[in-house]
């Protein structure tokens, strides 16, 4: 047998062996990547709002607590290693939503975009926020209802505000409302939007159905209307509210409507910080109780006014007075006048 014949036979054998290998072990696809988790963390900031959305190296902060909560809000962000934000959302210019936002703006290493409604305010905190944004040269975008943008692997749609002005210039109705969709899961963030905004969203025919609803305006009577909740049909509802707040939030009416649509209700005043984690298919919920404050009632030694610890008008540390026992009655007996805005106290009660 000559060399050419031998080479031909070896070539045929090699082809045969390769064909068998291809059948026995076909080319394997790489293992599917583990789905990225989206975390939605609703922080306990008392009678205020602050929610962080985090996915891989993407982060979005919706509102930033009340005035005087700078250390608290920045501490929460540090806990989650957040040093940059793709979006900072100021849903509307009330202090209980933007109170610590100037500090967030000045502390973050980078903020790509600030989302705000086309509605300003005359308060000092709003002016301070605008100054901070200007100092850092951050672009402000006024979102348009119906606008959709991609954030990481999530889809975000703007649903409100839908009018240039509102009756009685109600700042709550100017709230930016966002629906975030990730895989088969969805979240609806409503700021302090009330009945008018909810009605407009329904009239526009927006898709409202969401697994998780951040309840509007702390669970007030004038938000979470029946028609709106029927459209949202949330499996879970989360309410941002402070223990013993003077507004009675969440109201029995709002709680009743939420229960009526079958929503499982979570509250920051009862559950602390609430975290929703989803891989786009399932949602896992964890709660982190907030440690009790060292002092429930804090007096101002100069003007003899006593505040609940969550009040945005607490005296500076050097002017604070504490009581033993730590009760409102003890403060009153000591000659202090209850701050009506935070203690909900009246002489007739």
Q: With 60 as the cut, is the pLDDT of residue 47 above it?
A: yes
Check residue 261 and give its pLDDT: 98
Quickly state the pLDDT bin for 236 (edges 50, 70, 90): very high
Domain boundaries, the chain: 38-288, 297-343
- Over residues 172-188, the mean pLDDT reads 98
> What rounded mean pLDDT belongs to the chain?
90
| Domain 38-288 CATH class label | alpha beta
Quickly state the pLDDT bin for 17 (edges 50, 70, 90): low
The residues near 79 (Cβ < 8 Å, ≥ 6 apart) are none
Please tell me the distance from the alpha carbon of residue 330 to that of residue 321, in angstroms, as a whole number. Answer: 12
Q: With 90 as the cut, is the pLDDT of residue 161 above it?
A: yes
Check residue 228 and give its pLDDT: 98
Check residue 342 and give its pLDDT: 79
Quickly state the pLDDT bin for 292 (edges 50, 70, 90): confident
Q: With 70 as the cut, is the pLDDT of residue 9 above it?
A: no
Residues 95/63, Cβ–Cβ less than 8 Å = no
Smallest Cα–Cα separation from 212: which of 171, 254, 266?
A: 266
Residue with tokens 């028609």: 227
If you write DSSP's letter for every residue of 130-154 in order, what string do you get? HHHHHHHTPPEE---TT-EEEETTE
Q: With 70 as the cut, is the pLDDT of residue 7 above it?
A: no
Quickly state the pLDDT bin for 343 (edges 50, 70, 90): confident
- Over residues 21-45, the mean pLDDT reads 70
Please tell me the distance from the alpha carbon of residue 284 to that of residue 289, in angstroms, as a whole number. Answer: 17
Please tell me the distance from the alpha carbon of residue 321 to that of residue 136, in angstroms, as a whole number. Answer: 38
Other C-beta atoms closer than 10 Å to the C-beta of 303 total 11
| Residues linked to residue 38 through DSSP beta bridges, in sequence order | 278
| Residues linked to residue 298 through DSSP beta bridges, in sequence order | 307
């Amino acid at each position: 047998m000559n060399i050419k014949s031998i080479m031909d036979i070896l070539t045929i054998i090699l082809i045969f062996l390769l064909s068998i290998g291809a059948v026995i072990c076909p080319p394997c696809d790489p293992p599917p990547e583990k789905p990225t988790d989206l975390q939605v963390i609703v922080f306990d900031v008392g009678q205020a709002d602050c929610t962080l959305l985090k996915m891989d190296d993407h982060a979005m902060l919706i509102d930033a607590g009340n005035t005087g909560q700078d250390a608290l809000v920045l501490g929460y962000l540090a806990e989650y290693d957040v040093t940059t934000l793709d979006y900072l959302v100021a849903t509307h210019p009330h202090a209980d939503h933007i109170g610590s936002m100037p500090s967030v703006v000045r502390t973050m290493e980078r903020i790509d975009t600030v989302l705000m409604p086309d509605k300003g305010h005359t308060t000092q905190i709003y002016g301070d926020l605008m100054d901070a944004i200007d100092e850092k040269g951050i672009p402000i975008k006024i979102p348009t209802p119906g606008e959709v943008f991609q954030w990481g692997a999530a889809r975000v749609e703007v649903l409100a505000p839908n009018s240039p002005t509102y009756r009685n210039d109600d700042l709550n109705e100017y709230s930016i409302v966002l629906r975030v969709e990730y895989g088969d899961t969805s979240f609806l963030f409503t700021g302090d939007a009330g009945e008018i905004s909810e009605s407009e969203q329904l009239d526009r025919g927006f898709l409202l159905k969401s697994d998780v609803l951040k309840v509007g305006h702390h669970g007030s009577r004038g938000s979470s209307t029946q028609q709106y909740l029927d459209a949202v049909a949330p499996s879970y509802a989360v309410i941002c509210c402070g223990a013993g707040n003077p507004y009675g939030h969440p109201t029995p009416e709002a709680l009743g409507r939420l229960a009526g649509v079958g929503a499982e209700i979570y509250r920051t005043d009862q559950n602390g910080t609430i975290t929703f984690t989803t891989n786009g298919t399932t949602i896992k919920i964890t709660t982190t109780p907030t440690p009790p404050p060292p002092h429930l009632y804090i007096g101002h030694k100069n003007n003899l006014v006593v505040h609940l610890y969550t009040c945005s008008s607490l005296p500076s540390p050097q002017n604070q007075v504490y009581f033993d026992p730590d009760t409102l009655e003890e403060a009153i007996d000591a000659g202090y006048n209850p701050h009506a805005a935070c203690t909900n106290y009246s002489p007739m009660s």
